[in-house]
Chain A
Amino acid sequence: MARALRQIIAVMALNLRTIPARLSSSAVAVVGIAGVVVVFVSVLSIAAGFSAAMTGSGSPNRALVMRSGADSEMTSGLDGAAVDVIKQAPGIRRAGQAPLASAELYVIIDLPKKSTPDAAANVPMRGIEPAGMPLREEVSLIEGRMFQFGTNEVIVGRGAKGQFMNLNVGDTIVSGQNRWQVVGVFEADGAVVETEIWCDARTLQGAYRRGNSYQSVLARLESADSFDMLRDWLTSNPQLNVMIRRENEYYAGQSQALTRLIRTIGFGIAGLMGIGAIFGAILTMYTAVASRAREIATLRALGFNAIPILVSILGESLVLGGIGGLIGGLGAYLAFNGYQTSTMNFQTFSQVAFAFRVTPLLLMMGLIYALAMGLIGGLFPAIRAVRLPIPIALREL
């Protein structure tokens, strides 16, 4: 055993020391594998970023009440009477007499995106009630001031300000016949609401001719455990036809469609490219083995076993795979980590700003993938090298 190990180390050291002599051929394998890892990591970082923005949004301590059957706030609708009943439900935290619950409207308005100024993007606009601010303790103003209820003033999320045009404090948003005055900018720990524009729900009702109707009620729970009580009370109340979800679960559900699409594409393309890179690695290792057929045969004639030679060749291609994986992962990280963009959330047809996230997990997966490509790429040439009859190999060249 010790002898085999010594042999492996000896042959491997020889192999690795001679890599510089075969630089161009080794570079082919490294570049191929690095390229695949770049694609793999960067495409999946889009999904990771979007999913993080969505699942990081919302708190398990808040519940979102919508009309039953609605798949998002966008399609939900609750009339004023229902809202009054919902706010009286047990399980909702109260500040003094007033329930910590905000009846809200959720609409989209067309605004030009900075990256495509000639095309309108669907920017979400939310009308909130006064309780809507204390209800979301993670929201804080970073610029300007809070809007005044009863006016046409709005505050905009940090993400919205970054992605869309003319959303600075002091700007006026023109939408149809409505004029909205931007008076502040808020942040919410990177949550989806940072892509939204907030205003007074009652003003929005008037502007969109919604009468006294809302779309959802967001309520702060007494405690995380009072969700079931609230749900049972609401769903068994004959006056209401509503459904309730924890806010974080609602957002997590919304991210699924797009995340799945990006993952399918990412795994599909990286998978196919991986096969291509394996072919590249096979060619490289084959060339490496062929150019040293005589040396390998000499080693075997000297009494080196087949196994150490096999392992050493696999080791070399693993090293090449590892180098490719590191280069690819680093490249993807430098190029894309934190890249700010926005896309459309298919469930609400509204824009969501988010940043690409090259997570340690993704880097790890990329590296493992690179090593796997290297291993498979080295396997056939290695087997070939040790199966070649010694006399023939010695005569070669």
Chain B
Amino acid sequence: MKFLPLVWKNVWRRKFRTTFTLLSIFIAFLLFGILMTIRTAFSLGVDLAGLDRLVLINKVSLIIPLPVSYQARLQQVPGVDLATHQTWFGGIYQDPANFFANIAVVPEPFLRIYPEFTVPPDQVQAWLSDRQGALVGRDLAERFGWKVGDRVPLTGTIWQPKQGKPWEFNVSGIYDAEAGIDKTQFFFRYDYLDENRATGSGLVGWYVVKIADVSRSVELSRIFDEMFANSSAETKTTTEKGFVESFAKQIGDIGAIMIAISSTVLFMFGLVAASTMAQSVRERTNELAVLKTLGFSGAAILILVLAESLFIAFVGGGLGLAVAWLIVQRGDPTGGMLAIFVLPPRDMLIGVALMALMGVLAGVMPAMAAMRLRITDALRRG
């Protein structure tokens, strides 16, 4: 501990170089945080999707509806906790650029099947008692400045309203959820959709089924699909996780390529910063020899050097990651395109591990060399 001032002095031996090394590492880890956030956004939050929820879509394609009558049949299958349906509405608020997901659901089972959405009880009551009520994500409400009680008109794209009855909704409640869960969605009541749409009565988009035992998901998926085989609307069942994953895969490799190139360059940046740090130790071989002469053991010198490089890596990297986290807290800068905008704790941990690796990598080679150094050689060189 008493050698901390020595480490401190060494760190600031060349102020200019240390400052810019720190700044480089700061930028590198800031970028690391942001890249991991983008990666998570492109995977559509697949890590957070429920494993105990199965999704049934039409076998032909997601866009082909299923009959509402499947709900009762699904509910009767042993092992099913709760079956409910959802329907993509695709409505536009004022301008097509204001895209957000708006989905018709049956409120009560919906709230039970998605316990991760937290809604104040009085707002739940308001939603249950208002046919035109809607439950809105907190991020979405903030984006358009909506408050509970506001009236929101949407233009239907898929579903046309009956003559003279445009689609209008009342914000009954605003849901919140943990970081990483999409809070940009707009849920409204299926009964309102069904009574007010001009065509397509009795059709729903897909089913979500909560099962009692996660280990039976494969078996139950098969049972469901066999139930509806050879009907006019065959189904394809996957876990919710698999469903989100297959959707994310459709975005294709462009996300992966962007992340891969950026990570490679970032890695290169890290190596450059590490080599600068190593360089600064190599320059001081002479001094290290003096320390040895004074009776410092090889191990003590190793620790001194490592402490210095770890200090730089952790200060620069830690600040970078912290700033990345702060930026991410401010939310998606693209206005709704990246609905899941969060820096996962796992990636933060990876970042810290990378800092340690960087510090050790930069310090250990020159430190080992210094440790093995024969004092006379080193002093003669200087």
Contact = CB atoms under 8 A, between A and B. Distances in A.
Contacts of A269: 31, 34-35, 258, 262
A109 B265 contact: no
Contacts of B211: none
Interface in A103-128: 107-110, 113, 115-116, 119-122
B10 interface: no
B17 A261 contact: no
B246 A120 contact: yes
B156 interface: yes
Given A71-B157, A273-B31, A122 B17 contact: no
A217 B31 CA distance: 47
A119 to B, nearest CB: 4
A113 B245 CA distance: 14
Contacts of A272: 27, 30-31, 34
B358 to A, nearest CB: 14
Nearest to B22: A279
Contacts of A75: 90, 157-158
A121 B61 CA distance: 9
Contacts of B35: 269
A273 B265 contact: yes
Given A269-B35, A344-B252, A108 B63 contact: yes
Interface string A252-277: 00001100111011101100110110
A116 B249 contact: yes
Interface in A173-211: 175-178, 208-209
A218 interface: no
Contacts of B258: 43, 46, 262, 265-266, 269
B250 A121 contact: yes
A262 B63 contact: no
Given A46-B258, A69-B157, A257-B99, A176 B249 contact: no
Contacts of A273: 27, 31, 262, 265-266, 269
Nearest to B231: A177
Interface string B13-38: 00011001101100110110011001
A131 interface: no
A357 to B, nearest CB: 13
B279 to A, nearest CB: 9
Interface string A327-358: 00000000010000111101001010000000
B252 A110 contact: no
Interface string B247-263: 00111111001100110
A52 interface: no
Contact of B262 (A39, A177, A275, A287): A39
A320 interface: no
A24 B262 CA distance: 23
Given A269-B31, A276-B31, A36 B246 contact: no
B115 interface: no
A46 B257 contact: yes
Q: How extensive is the interface on chain A, given as a class? A: 35 or more
A122 B61 contact: yes
A276 B276 CA distance: 14
B376 interface: no
Contacts of B64: 107, 208
A112 B75 CA distance: 31
Nearest to B266: A273
Given A175-B60, A283-B20, A46 B254 contact: yes
Contacts of B5: none
A35 B269 contact: yes
A315 interface: no
Contacts of A268: 34, 333
Q: How extensive is the interface on chain B, given as a class? A: 35 or more
Interface string B316-341: 00000000000000000110011000
A160 interface: no
Contacts of A308: none
Contacts of A58: none
A331 B232 CA distance: 53
A343 B252 contact: yes
Contact of B28 (A120, A121, A276): A276
Nearest to A116: B249
Given A176-B60, A283-B17, A283-B21, A262 B261 contact: no
Interface string B332-366: 01100110000000000000000000000000000
A224 interface: no
A346 B247 CA distance: 11
B152 interface: no
A192 to B, nearest CB: 15
Contacts of B337: 257, 260-261
A106 to B, nearest CB: 10
A343 B248 CA distance: 10
A268 B257 CA distance: 16
B214 interface: no
A257 B338 CA distance: 11
Interface in B149-176: 155-158, 160
B272 interface: yes
A275 B60 CA distance: 49
B194 interface: no
Contacts of A282: 20
A32 B272 contact: yes
B275 interface: yes
A195 to B, nearest CB: 12
Contact of A69 (B30, B31, B38, B155): B155
A31 interface: yes
Given A265-B38, A341-B253, A119 B246 contact: yes
B104 to A, nearest CB: 15
A287 B160 CA distance: 69
A35 B28 CA distance: 13
B59 A35 contact: no
A274 to B, nearest CB: 9
B92 interface: yes
Contact of B250 (A122, A178, A280): A122
B69 to A, nearest CB: 16
Contact of A279 (B20, B90, B157, B160): B20
A13 interface: no
Given A119-B250, A280-B24, 5 more contacts: A69-B160, A108-B62, A109-B61, A268-B333, A273-B265
7 contacts: A28-B272, A69-B92, A71-B92, A71-B157, A109-B60, A256-B97, A287-B17
Interface of A: 28, 31-32, 35-36, 38-39, 42-43, 46, 67, 69-72, 74-75, 77, 107-110, 113, 115-116, 119-122, 175-178, 208-209, 256-257, 260-262, 264-266, 268-269, 272-273, 275-276, 279-280, 282-283, 286-287, 336, 341-344, 346, 349, 351
